[in-house]
Amino acid sequence: MRVSQFFLSTLKEAPAEAELVSHRLMLRAGLIRKLGSGLYTWMPLGLRVLRKVEAVVREEMNAAGAVELSMPAVQPAELWEETGRWAQFGPQMLKIKDRHERDFCFGPTHEEVITDIARRELRSYRQLPVNFFQIQTKFRDEIRPRFGVMRAREFLMKDAYSFHASVDDLQREYRNMYEAYSRVFTRLGLRFRAVAADTGAIGGTGSHEFHVLADSGEDAIAFCPESDYAANVELAEALAPSEPRPAPGAPMARHATPGVHSVDDVAAFLGLPASRIVKTLAVIAGDGRLVLLLLRGDHQLNEVKAGRKFSPEGGFRFATEAEIRARLGAGPGSIGPVGAAVPVVADRAVVAMGDFSCGANADGFHFAGLNFGRDLPLPDHVADLRNVVDGDPSPDGAGRLAIARGIEVGHVFQLRTKYSEAMSCQFLDEQGRSRPMEMGCYGIGVSRIVAAAIEQNHDARGILFPEALAPFRVAIVAIGYGKSEAVRGAAHALHDALEAAGVEVLLDDRDERPGVMFADMELVGIPHRITVGERGLKNGEMEYQPRRDGGVTALPAAGAAQWLLERLR
């Protein structure tokens, strides 16, 4: 391909709206252009990258035994009413009406449609298992689209849904998909981690998220460098401290702390580390009771864990200041467990604290030197209430946890029978009994992967595409193209030879100044570059330079194509 026949549209400066590196670079390199909030055009260059991702995903899905189909992007409301998700999905679903005023949505996901297919097509255990997948555009009306294609409203996704006669078979396929996903991300050249995940609103049991590791990631992941344990921070268990509670070393004291409310304030005022302060949160449980939650000052409440502690539905909310005052006689920053006639749930780390400080249930006063058993009773309940932090022991006992940030690019779920039951998607088993199918679902954010890959692979000059993702593998920069017959001839010969060998090559025949061409090819992230110029040709040479690690190699012009083909292999 020649630049003059293709379409390059690079920018020296990125539009002001882009703050994330990948977003800026995608805009600058001309991979995407914005149409509206969360809506992007994939420009020719970007589309080539998107197609690369798609191709790898498709190949691995096929290799793993899944079969491709394509479902409508627009779906009738009735299907969603069967599962109750028409109402449940809420405003994130783009709802539309046709000319007959019938309700439709632009599909945010396809569980309902595929389950409908399955219940019509699959009758017998003999037809199971099946795994259907598609690569398709979805729309979710995100509250706040951002970071370009990373969190867009319209996006490209690979979604797969499997149907099984037994849980065992579902689990087998789940592992199969897990492995297929690992191969996909490995082939794409990404540093990733599979983490145990919360199953969220979709329901079901087993679930793993695949995260591309990047500091800009929106999700926090806890993992153990010494083992393969990894979990979403929401889910990672914070174990009870192994050290016993220290013996009391200080007398209990009540300090006047005027205007001191936050943990940081208390720490500064009393000269204590945050880890010696108990943070007291007042919540209203599902049954209406006010309950105090105790956390170590340097820890953070995990609302998912706290929710589980209260009721099957996990319902609780933070108490209002008025409710807190009514029960405890002090405001939020001055409350504590001492003498409070309400139920108390303490985090595991709290009951291992000694000589600690907390609010005195009187505005402007805090206790210090508190010890359980001496100054106050041990709490009614002890539970895991907090997010794990860097250095916590790993739940698998293998070492200490580290926290990293990740971009979720894949998700595998065991849905079980949530949808098959709701939509009576049944099959006849060996005994002729009618049973709901066991289901799994497996998603990959195809368009998001492009952004995630750039987030993980860039430098000051632009994108460093992994080989598998690059829009072109080789750039030929022809210096003096317009003027020099020799340059033109040599560049064309090299271009044709590479193309004939099946290499995706981009010949810069724009007759621009060298700096412009170098800068563009680097911005766009083409992994290999050959420079052809009169200066080199005089000595019968061309120059090779890899995008990623710099050094220039002089090549005999005659053998350049061959040399490069060797290297690319």
Nearer to RNA, 367 or 419 (CB): 419
Report, in angstroms and rounded to the nearest whole number, the Rg of the chain calculated over CA atoms: 30
SS3 label, residue 182: helix
Selected binder of RNA within 292, 522, 528, 555 (CB under 7 A): 522
Question: Does the protein bind RNA through residue 543 (CB under 7 A)?
Answer: yes
Q: Does 300 bind RNA (CB under 7 A)?
A: no
DSSP 8-state symbol, 211: E
One-letter identity of residue 434: S
With CA atoms as reference, report the closest residue to 381 among 327, 328, 343.
343
Please tell me whether residue 527 binds RNA under the rule CB under 7 A: no
Residue selected from 12, 99, 120, 569 as contacting RNA according to rule CB under 7 A? 12
The sign one gets for the Cα dihedral 233, 234, 236, 238 is positive
476-495: contacts with RNA (CB under 7 A): 479-480, 482-483
Instruction: Work out the burial of residue 239: count CB atoms within 10 Å of its CB; fewer than 13 is exposed, 13-18 middle, 19 or more buried.
Output: middle
The site for RNA, by CB under 7 A, has a size of: 61
Task: Give the shortest CB-98-to-RNA separation in angstroms.
Answer: 22
Q: Which is nearer to RNA, 82 or 363 (CB)?
A: 82
Q: Considering beta carbons, is residue 175 or 535 the nearer one to RNA?
A: 535
- Residue 146 touching RNA (CB under 7 A): yes
Residue 345 to residue 294: CA distance in whole angstroms: 6
Q: Which of 149, 523, 560, 561 binds RNA (CB under 7 A)?
A: 523
Burial 360-382 (b: 16+ CB within 10 A, else e): bbbbbbbbbbbbbeeebeebeeb
Q: Please report how close the Cβ of residue 79 comes to RNA at its closest, in angstroms.
A: 15
Residue pair 366/358 in contact (Cβ under 8 Å)? The answer is yes
User: Which one, 106 or 413, has the nearer CB to RNA?
Assistant: 413
Q: How far is the CB of 202 from RNA (least distance, A)?
A: 2
- Closer residue to RNA in complex, CB, 96/516: 516
**What is the rounded distance in angstroms from the CA atom of residue 318 to the CA atom of residue 301?**
12
Are the beta carbons of 218 and 232 closer than 8 angstroms?
A: no
186 binds RNA, rule: CB under 7 A = no
Residues 128/427, Cβ–Cβ less than 8 Å? yes
Name the 3-class secondary structure at 187.
Answer: helix
State in angstroms the smallest separation of the CB of 294 from RNA: 21
- Which stretch in 265-273, 377-385, 396-404, 440-448 sits in contact with RNA by CB under 7 A? 440-448
**Single residue of 55, 62, 84, 200 touching RNA by CB under 7 A:** 200
CB of 516 to RNA, least distance (A): 4
Q: Does 315 bind RNA (CB under 7 A)?
A: no
Q: Which of 545, 560, 561, 564 binds RNA (CB under 7 A)?
A: 545
Q: DSSP per residue over 454-496, as a string?
A: HHHSEETTEE---TTT-S-SEEEEETTTTT-HHHHHHHHHHHH
My answer on whether omega of the bond before 76 falls inside 30° of 0, hence cis, is: no
Min CB(159)–RNA separation in Å: 6
Nearest approach in angstroms of CB 145 to RNA is 6
Judge contact between 443 and 124, C-beta under 8 A. Answer: no
Instruction: Using the minimum distance from each CB to RNA, give the nearer residue, 358 or 476.
Output: 476
Taking Cα atoms as reference points, which of 295, 335, 338, 288 lies closest to residue 316?
288
Interactions with RNA, residue window 365-424 (CB under 7 A): 411, 413
In the complex, what is the shortest distance from the CB of residue 514 to RNA, in angstroms, rounded to a whole number? 4
Least distance from C-beta 12 to RNA, angstroms?
A: 5
Taking the complex as a whole, the smallest distance from the CB of residue 14 to RNA amounts, in Å, to 7
Least distance CB 383 / RNA (angstroms): 20
Q: At what angle do helices 446-456 and 44-63 cross, to 10 degrees?
A: 110
Is residue 57 within 8 A of residue 444, CB to CB? The reply is yes
Distance in Å, CB of 473 to RNA, minimum: 18
Question: Which residue in the set 56, 113, 128, 157 belongs to the binding site for RNA (CB under 7 A)?
Answer: 157
Q: How far is the CB of 357 from RNA (least distance, A)?
A: 27
Quick one: which of 130, 412, 531, 557 contacts RNA (CB under 7 A)? 531
Distance between the two ends of the chain, CA-based, in angstroms? 20
The candidate with the shortest Cα–Cα distance to 55, out of 339, 393, 450, 378, is 450
Which one of the spans 64-72, 198-206, 319-327, 344-352 is the region binding RNA (CB under 7 A)?
198-206
In 3D, which of 157, 14, 6 has the Cα closest to residue 463?
14
The candidate with the shortest Cα–Cα distance to 510, out of 151, 5, 99, 139, is: 5
**218 makes contact with RNA (CB under 7 A):** yes
In a 3-state reduction of DSSP, which class is residue 69? Answer: coil
Q: Which of 46, 337, 395, 536 binds RNA (CB under 7 A)?
A: 536
The closest of 403, 554, 445, 560 to 492, measured between CA atoms, is 560
137 versus 227: smaller Cβ distance to RNA: 137
Is 58 or 411 the residue whose CB approaches RNA more closely?
411
Sites of contact with RNA (CB under 7 A): 10-17, 19, 34, 36-38, 92, 108-109, 138, 140, 142-147, 157, 159, 200-203, 218, 411, 413, 441, 443, 445, 461, 479-480, 482-483, 511, 513-516, 518-520, 522-523, 531-537, 543, 545, 552
